[in-house]
Structure 1
Amino acid sequence: MTKRKENSTNTLNEKCITEGCNLTYAVCKIGGRWKLLILCKLEEGKLRFGEIKKLIPNVTERMLTLQLRELEKDGLVKRTVYAEVPPRVDYELTEIAEELVPIWLQLSKWGEKHKELMK
């Protein structure tokens, strides 16, 4: 994944939107096709990359890697590398992400209720 230029239109627009609204900031941190699903899978505890991939079979390895990196950069996922051969890496929710659990449970209930109305 390449870095965006600091003065690119995309970067400036994102900065403007996320600094202006706390809700938009929060949604940007958990938004995207896979981030919430990854966070929900980690709710049960530490998982290795392969375990997450098995739980979310339709995500590509590249996309899973990118999403995990973003979640780690944003402080929502903790990545622990063990000095073993072969190397072992675990992912788990941070305390900040654990604060989101009741929120995404509520969103899930809302989705269940309204999904039926939209059919």
Structure 2
Amino acid sequence: MNIEKLIKLAYTAREKAYTPYSNFKVGAAVVTENNNIYSGCNIENAAYSPSICAERTAIFKAISEGESKIKLIVIVGTNDFTYPCGVCRQVIKEFAKDTCKIIVANNKMEYKTFTLDELLPYSFGPEDLRR
């Protein structure tokens, strides 16, 4: 998968972000195990709690289209490197393959690659409920 292409897709999604309160725009692109790509942006709400992050928007779009697992996610924010929040990390855990890579990119097309275990050590997931 071409990382630069995915970063550009995340940038494009970021431009669609609805952020009238924070003006902190985030875009994400998700690649599923079927190699389909879904993008998403963050969407704010005046009540704050109904807001949703770009990562979750992209993942939920994929799942709503019948996908079951993601294998890669790219995140770009307004500033330097933007990492997924705790809620997004938990959602990634729910729908990620064990080998899922999480890429955070800055505005200079530089990026860092992480595993989910690096960003969410000692996590709780579906496998913990099947014991």
Normalising by structure 1, what TM-score?
Answer: 0.27
More helix by share: 1
More strand by share: 2
Q: Which has the larger radius of gyration?
A: 1
Normalising by structure 2, what TM-score?
Answer: 0.26
